[in-house]
Amino acid sequence: MNAAAEPARLAEPLVLRITPPTRWWTIPLGELWSYRELLYFFVWRDIKIRYKQTAIGAAWTVLQPLLTMLVFSLFFGRLAHIPSDGLPYPIFYYSALLPWMYFAAALQNATNTIVENQRLITKVYFPRLALPLSAVLSGLVDFGVSFLMFLVLMVYYRVRPGAAVLWLPVFLLLAILTALGVGLWLSALNAIYRDVRYVLPFLVQFWMFASPVVYASSLVPVKWRWLYGLNPMAGVIEGFRWSLTGRGDPPGRLIYVSAGMVIVLLLSGVGYFQKMETTVADVV
Amino acid sequence: MSQTVIHVEGLGKRYRVGERERYLALRDVLTRAFTAPFRSGQERSTRDYLWALRDVSFDVQRGEVVGLIGRNGAGKTTLLKILSRITRPTAGFAEIHGRVASLLEVGTGFHPELTGRENVFLSGAVLGMKRGEIVRKFDEIVDFAGVDRYIDTPLKHFSTGMQMRLAFAVAAHLEPEILFVDEVLAVGDLEFQKKCLGKMQEVSKSGRTIVFVSHQMNQIRRLCEWVLWIDGGQIRQQGPTAELSAAYEASGSGQQQQRDRTEAPNAKASFQKWEILEPCGTGPNILDSFGPLTAKVTLVVKRPLRNVQHGIVLYNAERQLLWGTGFDGLELQEGVQHFLYKLPTLPLRPGPYNLRVTLYDDQGLIDDWECVPELVVATKPVTHPKDEWAGFMNIPCSLSVVSG
């Protein structure tokens, strides 16, 4: 029955060569593709476990950005009068918190993923890249839920996005890739140096103030904007605000610098991750 | 049509002593970086490297079941980890032809918060099954594990035994062409172990290749065609199961097998020493023929004893009593005495056994000694190939068909 059920697989000549690690690295896209079902199961597991272990489950996903948005609107908006490019404060903050909260959570999950799955890593083979990748992807469910909440806000404040909203997927992709690029670096570093775990909360906090979450990037002098784009999340957040509200100018040059930075982060991240990958089962 | 499916050549794995399986704190790295210029080159090179595996070469043909034996820390698991791509070798290479699955642990990928059903899918996927495959075999897996009533409760409410059974059931339904198994059958009750062994035999019959680590030589004998004996990271010997497993058992027990008794002797009389005079095996405790058997137990008698009862019994590894006999009304003189036992034959299945001798007089027990803790029978098995029909004895039997 076995042979009859899977003739194609048995016929497939498959030679696996196991050798000492070399200095070269590649992006194993083909292998990741053949392990796509496992990737799906990892994402599915992350989501299931996250909601099973918490008492009010999915409600957190809505409450977190909503409460943060309220606090920001009150303190930074009503009290500090930070200019919001003419947008109502709740819209101004929530449109930035959407990508930011996704990014912060994805980064945190990705950083811890190698350490949390060390038992798996020492017992079975799969492309290790699947772990940070699934950590970054599983955050998209939360993103989806809080996005629905944003739609409610948009209706309430009568904000019309316009054609710019078509760019939204591009900015979302940029956010995912940023989280992945940095996540690759941090997860690999965390596997070797456990200090990373303690550094991460500070990093996320600094990064938030270095991104236009609580203020608009129009506060940054024009001649320094491109430099500001070296923080890919600056481009992502401005992009989100612009495409969701239709106000302000498109991010322009900033976004090219951000995209370039993401590519650098991603490639170097994959390289460093693979260097770590060859020894990780011996050190974690 | 033999076909090499695993080719290993000069494989080696080196660890840095002291850094093995330990993570670093950034502090240590910084300290090292700062102190490095002040350390002499000699000091740095004295940091020892340890070859967990060195210069290992072998070939496995399609459909073979190979046993990997060796003491703890010999490098068996390291070899299995390299072959299943969990860790990379430092030297040499291996070539594997076919779809591989490895089972280095029972319950890989299980998560306590998820239900039994969810865990079957997760663990199956982690071990390399496709979703469709898991769906198709789901009922069979649950049935094999015998946990169908609890399948939708979280795994944390399962008993350890149930978790193990479910985990192994998933693993048993893998359909790789090559399977690496590390000591996973050691868990679970005897009944379930039997079921698993049966399943593995079935798998090997269907032409799959298995490389199997176990410390239970009975399992090795049952399953494997040939064995690879690893000692100190290197291959010590490879060859047919019967020969090598006997040599392996002998090598291990040879050192710990004391023929002289070390405990404090009894007041009236005590057993002191055992010896097997015939047959002369490769070790003091090895029986490599069906018989005859002559054994000797020496005792020291402190004062003359009358009406002594002496018993000798034989257990198997599962501590089942196989044979026992008694001798009554013995008279023992003061001094050193030898009990000589002659058996025309001892047709036992290969494996470890255990001899125990007792001595009583009218006032009660004088001495009780597990004299040969590991008596190894290393004959060729001539029993039914299927384990459940092989029984305890190893009796050569011929058959002739006579008409009329």
User: In chain A, where are the structural domains located?
Assistant: 27-283
| B254 CA: distance to closest CA in chain A (Å) | 34
Pairing of strands B4-16, B100-103: unpaired
CB proximity B22 to A under 8 Å = yes
pLDDT above 50 (res B357) = yes
ipTM score assigned to the predicted complex: 0.80
Supply A182's token pair.
């940095």
Higher pLDDT, B100 or A248: B100
- Who contacts B46 (Cβ-Cβ below 8 Å, separation ≥6)? none
Query: Is residue A129 classed as helix, strand or coil in its secondary structure?
Result: coil
Which of A6, A9, A17, A18 best tests the B interface by mutation, with the highest count of B CBs <10 A?
Answer: A18
CB contact under 8 A, B88 and A16: no
Using 50, 70 and 90 to split pLDDT, how confident is the model at A85?
A: confident
pLDDT at B387: 67
R_g of chain B computed on alpha carbons: 27
Supply A256's token pair.
């090219």
Higher pLDDT, B92 or B1: B92
CB contact under 8 A, A120 and B82: no
Chain B residues within an 8 Å CB radius of A48: 113-114, 118
Where is average pLDDT lowest: A168-182, B62-76, B225-239, B278-292? B278-292
- Which residues of chain A have a Cβ shorter than 8 Å from any chain B Cβ? 2-3, 6, 9-10, 13-21, 37-38, 41, 45, 48-49, 52-53, 119-126, 191-195, 278-279, 281-284
Asked whether the whole model's pTM tops 0.80, one would answer: no
What residue in A sits closest to B109 (Cα-Cα)? A120
pLDDT above 60 (res B253) = no
Cα separation, A146 vs A152, whole angstroms: 10
Strand order in the sheet with B209-213: B100-103, B178-182, B209-213, B65-69, B226-231, B234-240
CA dist list (Å): B21 to A194, A237, B15, B84, B107: 14, 41, 9, 18, 21
CB proximity B33 to A under 8 Å = no
| A210 CA: distance to closest CA in chain B (Å) | 26
Chain A residues within an 8 Å CB radius of B26: 193, 195
Pairing of strands B49-61, B100-103: unpaired
pLDDT at B36: 56
- Among the partner-chain residues A16, A45, A193, the one whose CB lies closest to the CB of B25 is A193
Mean pLDDT of A98-117: 93
CB proximity B110 to A under 8 Å = no
pLDDT above 60 (res B46) = no
Mean pLDDT of A217-243: 84
pLDDT at A57: 66
Q: DSSP secondary structure string, B367-401?
A: EEEEEEEEEEE-PPP-S-SSGGGT-SB--------
Higher pLDDT, B252 or B275: B275
pLDDT at B188: 59
Mean pLDDT of A228-252: 83
CB proximity B60 to A under 8 Å = no
Supply B282's token pair.
């490769």
Query: Is residue A259 classed as helix, strand or coil in its secondary structure?
Result: helix
User: Are A275 and A128 a contacting pair, CB within 8 Å?
Assistant: no
Give whichever of A24-33, B6-15, B19-28, B268-277 has the largest mean pLDDT. Answer: B6-15
Mean pLDDT of B185-204: 70
Burial class (CB in 10 A: 0-12, 13-18, 19+), B38: exposed
Mean pLDDT of B345-358: 86
- The amino acid sitting at B15 is Y
CB contact under 8 A, A121 and B81: no
pLDDT at A133: 94
**What is the phi/psi pair of residue B97, to 5°?**
-110, 105
Q: State pLDDT tens for residues A2-20.
A: 443 343 344 445 788 888 8
Using 50, 70 and 90 to split pLDDT, how confident is the model at B258?
A: low
| B30 CA: distance to closest CA in chain A (Å) | 11
CA dist list (Å): B142 to B86, B150, B154: 28, 10, 15
User: Are A44 and B127 a contacting pair, CB within 8 Å?
Assistant: no
For A144, how many CA atoms within 13 A lie in the half-sphere containing its CB? 7
User: Are B244 and B229 a contacting pair, CB within 8 Å?
Assistant: yes
Where is average pLDDT lowest: A220-229, B38-47, B224-233? B38-47
pLDDT above 50 (res A108) = yes
pLDDT above 50 (res A146) = yes
Cα separation, B146 vs B128, whole angstroms: 23
- Among the partner-chain residues B29, B97, B104, the one whose CB lies closest to the CB of A123 is B104
Using 50, 70 and 90 to split pLDDT, how confident is the model at B31?
A: low
- The amino acid sitting at B2 is S
pLDDT at B265: 58
CA dist list (Å): B200 to B194, B207, B209, B241, B351: 10, 11, 11, 17, 20
pLDDT at B63: 86
Fold of B4-252: Rossmann fold (3.40.50)
| B88 CA: distance to closest CA in chain A (Å) | 6
Query: Is residue A55 classed as helix, strand or coil in its secondary structure?
Result: coil
Query: Is residue B350 classed as helix, strand or coil in its secondary structure?
Result: coil
CB contact under 8 A, A124 and B26: no
Q: What's the whole-number average pLDDT of chain A? A: 84
pLDDT above 60 (res B22) = no
| Cα angle, residue B46 at apex, residues B44 and B49 outer, rounded to 5° | 105
Quote the DSSP letter at residue A163: G
How far from the centroid of its chain's Cα atoms is residue B57's Cα?
22
Q: What's the whole-number average pLDDT of chain B? A: 81
pLDDT above 80 (res A144) = yes
Which residues on neighbouring strands pair with residue B51, listed in sequence order?
B14
Which of A114, A123, A131 best tests the B interface by mutation, with the highest count of B CBs <10 A?
Answer: A123
Supply B335's token pair.
């001094």
Query: Is residue A171 classed as helix, strand or coil in its secondary structure?
Result: helix
Supply B197's token pair.
């062994």
pLDDT above 90 (res A265) = yes
Cα separation, A137 vs A109, whole angstroms: 10
Mean pLDDT of A34-49: 89
Q: Where are the domains of chain B?
A: 4-252, 259-377
Q: State pLDDT tens for residues B259-311.
A: 566 565 567 888 888 888 877 766 677 787 887 888 888 888 888 888 999 99
Peptide bond into B292 cis (omega under 30): yes
| A45 CA: distance to closest CA in chain B (Å) | 8
| B26 CA: distance to closest CA in chain A (Å) | 5
Cα separation, A132 vs A185, whole angstroms: 10
User: Are B349 and B377 a contacting pair, CB within 8 Å?
Assistant: yes
| B208 CA: distance to closest CA in chain A (Å) | 11
Identify the CA nearest to B172 among candidates B130, B219, B140.
Answer: B140
pLDDT at A176: 95
CB contact under 8 A, A17 and B95: yes
How does A9-18 read in b/e, with b if 16+ C-beta sit within 10 Å? ebeeeeeeeb
Fold of B259-377: Coagulation Factor XIII; Chain A, domain 1 (2.70.50)
Give whichever of A31-40, A78-87, A224-233, B245-254 has the largest mean pLDDT. Answer: A31-40
